[in-house]
């Protein structure tokens, strides 16, 4: 990497990977909470349906963070 591409605001790839790992863990935990709510309320209760939707979103975001973390680990960051 050329020195002129580095700014005082740039972030290290390793830091990005760590943050994505934290995001993935948080979304995984959120999905587990939604799953527990869903089981407690019964299949067709409104809060159960909302919890199922929340769980699906949390799972999707967790998977996306995992995929981005893996991609960054393999290929790094392109600056332009």
Where are the domains positioned within the chain?
A: 33-72
- What's the whole-model pTM score? 0.65
Using alpha carbons, list the distances in angstroms from residue 67 to 17, 50, 63: 11, 26, 6
**Would you write out the chain's pLDDT as a tens digit for each of its 80 residues?**
455 555 555 667 778 888 888 888 998 899 999 888 888 877 778 888 888 889 999 999 888 888 888 887 787 776 65
Write out the two tokens for 56. Answer: 């699906």
Using alpha carbons, list the distances in angstroms from residue 36 to 29, 33, 56: 11, 5, 13
């Amino acid at each position: 990497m050329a020195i002129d591409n580095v700014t005082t605001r740039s972030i290290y790839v390793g830091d990005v990977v760590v943050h994505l790992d934290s995001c993935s863990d948080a979304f995984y935990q959120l999905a587990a909470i939604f799953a527990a709510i869903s089981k407690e309320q019964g299949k067709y209760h409104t809060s159960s349906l909302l919890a199922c939707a929340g769980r699906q979103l949390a799972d999707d975001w967790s998977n996306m963070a995992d995929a981005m973390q893996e991609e960054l680990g393999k290929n790094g960051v392109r600056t332009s």
